[in-house]
Amino acid sequence: MKNIIVTLMVLMIGVSLNAQEKKNKNAKYDIEVNGNCAMCKKRIEKAALSVKGVKSAVWHIDHQDLHLVLDETKTTLDQVHEAVAKVGHDTEKVKATDEAYNDLHGCCKFERKQ
């Protein structure tokens, strides 16, 4: 009887460990980030790279998207959205505060979606 109980416990632990979400150390994402110019590019990339776990951040002016490589064991995509919005740029998930947007240089003020 004890052997059956021990076997079932080991089996349950194994199943629960397998069911946990796998975190990717080199997860790739593309997120939409609004901006206009090279100053925006520098600001957006710097904000994204300031998040611990972000390995690469490249923003493309023509596509308005940020290509990311991040370690999901250290950060989440939501933390990147928050960091970019904090410096004044709207993302597909998080809108920058009016104060942060108004602090942008004149040429960096993109047309905001309502």
Predicted confidence band of residue 19 (pLDDT cuts 50, 70, 90): very low
H runs (alpha helix) in the chain: 2-19, 38-49, 77-86, 98-102
pLDDT greater than 90 at residue 45: yes
Edge-to-edge order in the sheet of strand 54-60: 27-32, 65-70, 54-60
Q: How far is CA 49 from CA 10, 85, 103, in A?
A: 42, 13, 20
- For the record, the structure tokens of 54 come out as 């972000």
Section 55-79 average pLDDT: 96
- For tokens 């809108």, the residue is 95
**Domains, the chain, with CATH or none:** 23-108 (3.30.70.100)
Beta-bridge mates of residue 58: 67
Q: What are phi and psi of 59, to 5 degrees?
A: -100, 135
pLDDT greater than 90 at residue 102: yes
